[in-house]
Amino acid sequence: MVSAIVVGSMAVFVIVGPWFSAFSYDFTDWSNLSVAPGLEHGHYFGTDTLGRDLFVRTLYGGRISLMVGIVATIVSLAIGISYGATAGYLGGRTDHIMMRIVDILYALPFMFLVILLMVYFGRNILLIFVAIGAINWLDMARIVRGQTLSLKRREFVEAAEAQGVRTPAILRRHIVPNLLGVVAVYVTLTIPQVILVESFLSFLGLGVQEPMTSWGALVKDGAEELESAPWQLIFPATFLAATLFCFNFLGDGLRDALDPKDR
């Protein structure tokens, strides 16, 4: 519960926070290069080596990180749900083949393929969304398939079948809405994974490009100035870790609450 509130306020904070600062994310304050946090010069979190306000940059980075988290999760949801529900509902040989494909893809080291993708096709943010979303749907597909298998034997599905409703309509109207509870739990676990992947890429310099930023990119910059300006690392690192912690905690809690075995 507390986690939900923290995540919620984090989201609100990164959206409205920048309005409370006099600086923009790419403004260079030449008289305050790499200054420590303080109130007198208006840089609440200090500035980076280029004199850019770290408070605003951390929040902008948060916007990007959360946005990537949400958009990529939606991409993976869309693929995962339609794939899993189709496989589960059709069953038989189709199901077998579709799940074999998932098994094979599962064994691939996707992180490296994403890095390859970023290297070959240049670094743009849209590609990050799609690439990360496209690798994260496998878990979702498996879970959704499992749920669909048990759902399709329920009476309301039989009733719909008896009335001659077409398969896509049954999937859309009867199966998918009933999946949403389980899916919601896994969304809270997928978002932190995605944020982590994006930070990882940005940390390697393959993610979001300057002057835009994300938490991963900020942590990377901070790590380079570690000895002279530790605040450049500490603020974005804290934001990133806190967000991941809350999402994980939330997801874990929800999963335990839904899992009768753990009670």
Residues in touch with other proteins (CB under 8 A):
104-105, 107-109, 111-113, 115-121, 192, 196, 199-200, 203-206, 216, 219-220, 222-223, 226-227, 230, 233, 237, 240-241, 244-245, 248-249, 252
Residue 249 C-beta: closest distance to other proteins, Å: 6
Residue 152 C-beta: closest distance to other proteins, Å: 28
Is the CB of 175 or the CB of 197 nearer to other proteins?
197
Is the CB of 175 or the CB of 233 nearer to other proteins?
233
Question: In the structure encoding, which two tokens stand for residue 114, read together?
Answer: 């994403």
Angstrom CA distances, 138 to 3, 58, 114, stand at 26, 31, 15
Question: In the structure encoding, which two tokens stand for residue 203, read together?
Answer: 């940390």
Is the CB of 117 or the CB of 143 nearer to other proteins?
117
Residue 263 C-beta: closest distance to other proteins, Å: 13
The closest of 145, 146, 99, 127 to 206, measured between CA atoms, is 127
Angle among Cα 242, 244, 249 to the nearest 5 degrees reads 95
Residue 62 C-beta: closest distance to other proteins, Å: 15
The closest of 259, 257, 254, 222 to 237, measured between CA atoms, is 222
Is the CB of 206 or the CB of 212 nearer to other proteins?
206
Q: What CA–CA distance (Å, rounded) separates 114 from 137?
A: 14
